């Protein structure tokens, strides 16, 4: 089902993200709610101990022991709340980041500059996690704790309860009054951060050009100017946050002072209205100790209000982005590292390209128009054509990383599974592979954790990688640093061949290989044919004997011509 990004309500989307950590959120809420009754008990025990001490009565050990126990329980609850809060923030942030990364891989963020995409992946996803770990939970805690404190106060002295009841709304009312300004400031800060990320990335990419034209100092000053603008927007957000906190602290302090004045005047017997004359020192002290605790949840809610503003600003960007990526949010998201991992990946799938049409943008020419092909399970499809005709793009469509404008890609007669659904079902070896920091062996064992050194060396030999600098212990970075470009592509191919994935998508696997190495690799692919379905984009005629079907792609087909498959040999396709 297609999702219109313009129909996504950011507030609804933001609230819906709490389902990514339901158990941790329940634990966080319980530990946060435990603080209110413990605060009431602590105030009562402290008042009891002080009253006995002032009256010179014995029996101090019992209230002292219970008070220490209450303090310990409150400390434990606070520590548990901090732990679960960090867990909720981490779980939701990680899930949102995985979904954003998945949407970006599908091309949903094609209109986003790289700087804005990185901001969405990092800062904005983190803002969503902070919101659910802080403000969203504290809002429920404040409402329930306020009711509990009011019940306790009214049960002893209705005048103090009335003071609490009349002053408590001042805090949320003031939060709503400043909410619009805080939201606008947060939006401006987010826009400034997104612009700064893209601006700085563009300068890094063009650093050689800037040096060639002696523009380093001018661009450094320009970056400082943009950074200063972001700093000013950040300070505006902080100014509103601190001003709000200061005013709310003032309201709370005045309310506590009002309670203290009422209790003190009655204990001195200077006034006699209300139930005050019945107040004892212990009861009055308990009410006085209760006053700051009553306002503490509301102050914490106000302190986290800027997290709400930041999360709402992030949701304005993330909700349409994820909707454009075709994500409903159901189910876990597979990362690129796990997309090829499985212990039992199943039989090889049959592939069908059904009237496939694709273009990157409405104002660009179509790469494919009504493209159709059928490949049986365990077969081999070769994609041939000049550079730029869309072979790599077609591989991404088959993998489910891109969505066609028309037509469909079918795996065993069903729509191509999304990246969130085909964990272990395919392995990809592209022209620009990515690796993890570690050794060659560690990168290969990402897809075959149980493989021994002999298995790894065998697949490396099939791919012509017998002369690595340190063998299986050769260190790598994300870009394959430590290997040449050709060795990096062959290592990615070895990783794909080692995986148990029943569908292999290979992009120019024989590029830059000498004839002997190319023949060895062709034999390795032939050995896997039948148990794997192979789709290979290539310029090399040496792979022609593997082909059950060859699909020819051209940049601009002549009128009346249609690309189709040619069985079992490498020749120009027939035309209608």
CA distances from 326 to 50, 100, 394, 448, 453 (A): 64, 11, 19, 30, 41
Residues of the chain with pLDDT > 70, as a percent, come to 81
- Whether 383 and 551 have beta carbons less than 8 Å apart is answered as yes
Assess whether pLDDT exceeds 60 at residue 558.
Answer: no
Q: Confirm if 4 and 79 have CB atoms less than 8 A apart.
A: no
Q: Tell me which architecture the domain covering 5-324 has in CATH.
A: Up-down Bundle (1.20)
More confident call, 235 vs 377? 377
- Record the tokens describing residue 509, joined without a space: 């696997």
| pLDDT tens readout for residues 157-182 | 888 889 888 888 877 776 666 655 66
Q: How confident is the model at residue 69 (pLDDT cuts 50, 70, 90)?
A: very high
Give CA separation, 572 vs 131, 309, 384, 567, in Å: 59, 60, 10, 11
Per residue in 133-143, pLDDT (tens digit) is 988 999 899 88
Domain residues of the chain, as ranges? 5-324, 351-567
* 354: CB partners within 8 A, 6+ apart: 372, 407, 408, 409, 410
The Cα 175–Cα 178 span in angstroms is: 5
Give how far Cα 449 sits from Cα of 332, 420, 444, 453, 497, Å: 22, 21, 8, 11, 14
Please tell me what DSSP assigns to residue 463.
T
373 phi and psi, to 5 degrees?
-165, 155
Q: Annotate 284-311 with b (16+ C-beta within 10 A) or e (fewer).
A: bbbbbbbbbbbbbbbbbbbbbbbbbbbb
* 5-324 and 351-567 share one fold: no
What are the respective helix, strand and coil percentages of the chain, to the nearest 5? 60, 10, 30
Distance CA 118, CA 543 (A): 39
CA 203, distance to chain mean position in Å, is: 26
Residue 394, pLDDT above cutoff 70 = yes
Exposed / middle / buried, residue 191 (Cβ in 10 Å: 0-12, 13-18, 19+): middle
- This prediction has a pTM of 0.58
What pLDDT does 557 receive? 44
pLDDT at res. 262: 86
Flag the least confident range among 197-206, 264-273, 327-336: 327-336
pLDDT of residue 565 exceeding 70: no
Q: Which stretch of DSSP H or E encloses residue 168? A: none
Rg (CA), the chain: 33
pLDDT tens-digit series, residues 324-344: 655 544 443 333 333 333 345
Number of Cβ within 10 Å of residue 110's Cβ equals 12
Confidence of residue 397 (pLDDT cuts 50, 70, 90): confident
pLDDT in tens, 483-542: 777 788 888 888 888 888 888 898 888 887 788 888 888 888 888 888 889 999 888 888
Is the per-residue pLDDT at 243 higher than 80? no
In whole angstroms, give the CA distance from residue 90 to residue 125: 10
Q: Which two tokens stand for residue 435?
A: 């690796």
Does the pLDDT at position 291 exceed 80? yes
pLDDT category at 423 given cuts 50, 70, 90 is low
DSSP 8-state symbol, 109: T
pLDDT above 70 for 432? yes
Nearest by Cα to 378 from 544, 552, 549:
549
What is the model's pLDDT at position 41? 93
Tell me if the domain spanning 351-567 has CATH number 3.30.565.10: no
- Which pLDDT value is given to residue 430? 82
Give CA 11 to chain center in angstroms: 17
Q: How far apart are CA 191 and CA 270, in angstroms?
A: 59
Which residue blocks in 59-206 are alpha helix, DSSP H? 61-105, 114-119, 125-133, 135-156, 158-167, 170-205
- The token pair that represents 434 in the structure block: 């990515």
Q: Given pLDDT bands bounded at 50, 70 and 90, which one contains residue 106?
A: low
Residues 6+ apart with CB under 8 A from 17: 92, 95, 96, 128, 132
């Amino acid at each position: 089902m297609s999702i219109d990004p313009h129909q996504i309500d950011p507030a609804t989307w933001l609230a819906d993200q709490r389902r990514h950590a339901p158990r941790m959120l329940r634990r966080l809420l319980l530990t946060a709610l435990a603080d209110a009754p413990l605060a009431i008990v602590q105030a009562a025990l402290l008042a009891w101990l002080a009253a006995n001490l002032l009256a010179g009565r014995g029996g101090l050990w019992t209230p002292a022991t219970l008070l220490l126990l209450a303090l310990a329980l409150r400390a434990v609850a606070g520590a548990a709340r901090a732990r679960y809060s960090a867990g909720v923030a981490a779980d939701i942030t990680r899930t949102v980041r995985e979904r954003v990364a998945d949407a970006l891989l599908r091309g949903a963020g094609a209109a986003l500059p790289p700087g804005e995409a990185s901001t969405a992946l990092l800062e904005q996803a983190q803002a969503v996690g902070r919101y659910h770990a802080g403000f969203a939970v504290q809002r429920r805690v404040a409402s329930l704790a306020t009711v509990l404190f009011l019940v306790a106060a009214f049960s002893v002295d209705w005048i103090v309860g009335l003071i609490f009841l009349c002053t408590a709304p001042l805090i949320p009312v003031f939060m709503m009054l400043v909410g619009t300004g805080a939201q606008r400031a947060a939006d401006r800060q987010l826009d400034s951060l997104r612009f700064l990320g893209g601006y700085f990335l563009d300068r890094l990419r063009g650093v050689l050009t800037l040096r060639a034209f002696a523009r380093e100092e001018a661009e450094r000053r320009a970056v400082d100017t943009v950074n200063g603008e972001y700093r000013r927007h950040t300070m505006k957000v902080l100014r509103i946050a601190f001003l709000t906190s200061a005013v709310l602290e003032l309201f709370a302090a005045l309310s506590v002072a009002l309670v203290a004045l009422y209790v003190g005047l009655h204990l001195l017997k200077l006034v006699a209205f209300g139930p005050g004359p019945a107040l004892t020192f212990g009861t009055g002290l308990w009410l006085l100790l209760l006053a700051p605790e009553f306002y503490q949840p509301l102050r914490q809610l106000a302190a986290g209000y800027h997290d709400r503003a930041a999360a709402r600003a992030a949701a304005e960007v993330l909700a349409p982005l994820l909707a454009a990526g075709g994500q409903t949010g159901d189910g876990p998201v597979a990362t690129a590292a796990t997309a090829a991992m499985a212990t039992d990946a199943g039989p090889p799938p049959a592939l069908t390209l059904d009237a496939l049409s694709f273009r990157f943008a409405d104002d660009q020419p179509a790469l494919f128009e009504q493209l159709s092909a059928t490949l049986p399970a365990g077969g081999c499809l070769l994609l041939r054509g000049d550079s730029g005709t869309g072979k790599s793009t077609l591989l991404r469509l088959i993998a489910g990383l891109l969505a066609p404008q028309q037509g469909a890609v079918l795996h065993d007669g069903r729509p191509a599974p999304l990246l969130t659904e085909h964990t272990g079902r395919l392995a990809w070896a592209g022209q620009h592979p990515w690796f993890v920091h570690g050794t060659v062996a560690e990168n290969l064992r990402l897809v075959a954790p149980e493989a021994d050194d002999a298995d790894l060396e065998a697949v490396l030999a099939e791919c012509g990688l017998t002369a690595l600098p340190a063998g299986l212990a050769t260190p790598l970075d994300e870009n394959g640093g430590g290997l040449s470009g050709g060795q990096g592509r062959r290592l990615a191919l070895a990783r794909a061949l080692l995986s148990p994935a029943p569908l292999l998508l290979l992009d120019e696997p024989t590029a830059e290989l000498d004839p002997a190495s190319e023949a060895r690799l062709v034999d390795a692919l032939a050995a896997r044919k039948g148990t794997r379905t192979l789709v290979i984009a290539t310029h090399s005629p040496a792979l022609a004997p593997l082909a059950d079907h060859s699909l020819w792609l051209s940049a601009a087909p002549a009128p009346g011509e249609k690309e189709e498959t040619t069985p079992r040999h490498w020749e120009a396709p027939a035309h209608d």
